[in-house]
Amino acid sequence: MLSINLKPIVAAAVVTFMCGAGSAIASDRLADLLTELQTAEPSAAVAIAKEIRLEWEKSGSAAADLLLKRGRDAAETGDFEDAIEHFTALVDHAPDFAEGRVARARAYVEVGLFGPAVADLEQALELNPQHFEAINGLGVILEMIDRPVEAYEAYLLVMAIHPTHPVVTEALQRLEIRAKGQKL
């Protein structure tokens, strides 16, 4: 059985996010983009989020970039076992590259390995607490294993970073009654 206690993860990510600490913001550009995302209109936020993702994909290593590409190519063709092998090689090669762990977590979810996926997402968030897609991934997994309250909490954390995230906005609406209960 998958055991996850989201409260410490959420608390650590919020503290790190609110304090602006952590190795996640390696560049002024990324910090500026994350700040812009906070107040951007939904249409502009889509473009800003795309730029943030591009910044996250910069590993600084040609070998890591190649492994990320190969893993994603394998995932696109539905070969998730091969994708996991490439992403595992990437994580081994560049253990401090959060994007490798997030990518592997996605592949793990595709083959039903939720425990390893959660472990990767937790590690990614230790490396990059502002990685709203990693937090979203936790929310998705928690929703899949029927833990709506924790999924809702994860999605709220995404909204603290990316207030107009369209998928998360929809998820919050979908889960609100299950997570908060119905008002009488």
Q: Is residue 82 part of a domain?
A: yes
Percent of the chain with pLDDT over 70: 84
Q: Is residue 5 part of a domain?
A: no
Domain extent, residue 93, equals: 12-180
Question: What is residue 27's predicted lDDT score, i.e. its pLDDT?
Answer: 78
pLDDT reading at 12 higher than 60: no
Q: Is residue 1 part of a domain?
A: no
Q: Is residue 131 part of a domain?
A: yes
* 3-class DSSP assignment, residue 26: coil
Q: Give the integer Cα–Cα distance in Å for 34 and 103.
A: 21
Q: Is residue 2 part of a domain?
A: no
Q: Is residue 6 part of a domain?
A: no
Largest interatomic CA distance in the chain: 58
pLDDT reading at 15 higher than 80: no
Q: Give the integer Cα–Cα distance in Å for 14 and 80.
A: 32
Average pLDDT over residues 77-104: 98
Rounded to two decimals, the pTM is 0.83
Q: Under a CB-based contact definition with an 8 Å cutoff, are residues 150 and 178 in contact?
A: no
Nearest to 63 by CA among 24, 97, 27, 29: 97
pLDDT tens figures, 126-154:
999 999 999 999 999 999 999 999 999 99
Q: Is residue 100 part of a domain?
A: yes
Q: What's the CATH code of the domain at 31? A: 1.25.40.10
Number of domains in the chain: 1
Q: Give the integer Cα–Cα distance in Å for 116 and 122.
A: 10
